């Protein structure tokens, strides 16, 4: 029944070692988002795809990249993770305005 | 940019008590969303409010958007341990594909 699926749920990486987080959806929504949520803070939008159009938030570090090979899948690539990148990463989808559906998140630890 | 301030930051209530969480925006709200987040998990959609004065209820949770559309409240009646979690309000970010800007959340603990 899960509609937005994030893998893995927990990811441990080493400082500077590239890591990829994945997200898939069964809702056929045209918009997909990646949010970063640090402990006790609000989720912060990193970027979103509107169909195939990639939109980066102005303050998203260059270290973060994303790919959306098709409607169902979206990936978050962190090229050189730093200690400050340890956080929960949330993938979400929506069909234009209306309810946004979130995945369960991937908790990233950087050692 | 729009800022959402939630109050209180945290709340501990006894089971069966009523409680209210507030969300105040620095700008007019055109779409206000309430989500619940269990610790370490994703966000679960509760309600969406769009019109000033709108009120919606689901089970024991009621949300309102005030007439001036800069404040929303979430009210839980007869709280239960299952209501525990973090409640987040979110508002549409203009020109960001309907992405949401969130408040920092209100942490709710319900004690027996």
**In this structure, are residues A35 and A44 in contact, taking their beta carbons and an 8 Å threshold?**
yes
Residue in B with minimal Cα distance to A91: B42
Residue A1: exposure state from Cβ atoms within 10 A (0-12, 13-18, ≥19)? exposed
* Segment B42-46 long-range contacts (CB within 8 Å, at least 24 positions apart): B42/A4, B42/A6, B42/A90, B42/A102, B42/A103, B42/A104, B42/A105, B43/A43, B43/A90, B43/A92, B43/A102, B43/B88, B44/A102, B45/A99, B45/A100, B45/A101, B45/A102, B46/B74, B46/B87
- Measured between CB atoms, which of A97, A102, A107 is closest to B43? A102
Tell me the C-alpha distance between B29 and B49, whole Å: 9
Q: Tell me, what's the pLDDT at A34? A: 96
Interface test with A, best of B45, B46, B88, B98 (most A CBs within 10 A): B98
Residue A37: exposure state from Cβ atoms within 10 A (0-12, 13-18, ≥19)? buried
A53 pLDDT higher than 70 = yes
What distance in Å separates residue B46's CA from the closest CA in chain A? 9
Averaged pLDDT, A89-96: 91
Task: For B43-59, write each residue's pLDDT tens digit.
Answer: 999 999 988 889 999 99
Q: Tell me, what's the pLDDT at A2? A: 66
Q: How far is CA A78 from CA A8, A23, A36, A66, in A?
A: 15, 14, 12, 9
Averaged pLDDT, A43-49: 93
**pLDDT confidence bin for A97, thresholds 50/70/90:** low
Q: Do A42 and B43 touch (CB under 8 A)?
A: no
A96 pLDDT higher than 80 = no
Q: Which residue has the higher pLDDT, B97 or A65?
A: A65
For residue A94, what are its two tokens? 């929506």
Whether omega before A40 lies within 30 degrees of 0, making that bond cis, reads: no
Tell me the C-alpha distance between A30 and B97, whole Å: 10
Instruction: Tell me the pLDDT of chain A averaged across its residues.
Output: 93
What distance in Å separates residue A45's CA from the closest CA in chain B? 7
Q: Tell me, what's the pLDDT at B89? A: 96
Residues of chain B with Cβ-Cβ distance to A101 below 8 Å are 45
pLDDT-flagged residues of chain B (< 50): none
Task: For A11-25, write each residue's pLDDT tens digit.
Answer: 999 999 999 999 999
Q: Tell me, what's the pLDDT at B98? A: 76
Q: Tell me, what's the pLDDT at B86? A: 96
Q: Which residues contact A53 (CB under 8 A, 6 or more apart)?
A: none
For residue B39, what are its two tokens? 């610790």
Q: Do B104 and A57 touch (CB under 8 A)?
A: no
Q: How far is CA A12 from CA A93, A109, B13, B31, B40, in A?
A: 25, 5, 36, 36, 15
- Enumerate the H helices of A50-111 as residue ranges: none
Chain B interface includes A43 (CB < 8 A):
yes
Length of chain B: 112
Q: Tell me, what's the pLDDT at A23? A: 97
Percent above pLDDT 90 for chain A: 84
A92 pLDDT higher than 80 = yes
Q: Tell me, what's the pLDDT at B53? A: 87
Interface test with A, best of B46, B100, B101 (most A CBs within 10 A): B100
Q: Do B100 and A104 touch (CB under 8 A)?
A: no
Q: Which residues contact B3 (CB under 8 A, 6 or more apart)?
A: B25, B26
Q: Do B44 and A107 touch (CB under 8 A)?
A: no
Q: Tell me, what's the pLDDT at B23? A: 96
Percent above pLDDT 70 for chain A: 96
């Amino acid at each position: 029944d899960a509609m937005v699926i994030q893998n893995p749920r927990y990811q441990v990486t080493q400082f500077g070692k590239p890591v990829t987080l994945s997200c898939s959806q069964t809702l056929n929504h045209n918009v997909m988002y990646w949010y970063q949520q640090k402990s006790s803070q609000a989720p912060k939008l990193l970027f979103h795809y509107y169909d195939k159009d990639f939109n980066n938030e102005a303050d998203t570090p260059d270290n973060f990249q994303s790919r959306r090979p098709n409607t169902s899948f979206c990936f978050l690539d962190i090229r050189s993770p730093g200690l400050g990148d340890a956080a929960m990463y949330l993938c979400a989808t929506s069909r234009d305005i209306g309810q946004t559906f979130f995945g369960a998140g991937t908790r990233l630890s950087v050692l | 940019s729009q800022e959402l301030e939630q109050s209180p930051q945290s709340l501990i209530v006894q089971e069966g008590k009523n409680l209210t969480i507030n969300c105040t925006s620095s700008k007019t709200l055109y779409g206000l969303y309430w989500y619940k987040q269990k610790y370490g998990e994703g966000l679960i959609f509760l309600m969406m409010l769009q019109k000033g004065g709108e009120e919606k209820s689901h089970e024991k949770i009621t949300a309102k958007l005030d007439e001036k559309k800069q404040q929303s409240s979430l009210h839980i009646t007869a709280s239960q341990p299952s209501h525990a979690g973090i409640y987040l309000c979110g508002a549409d970010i203009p020109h960001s594909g309907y992405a949401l800007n969130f408040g920092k959340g209100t942490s709710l603990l319900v004690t027996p």
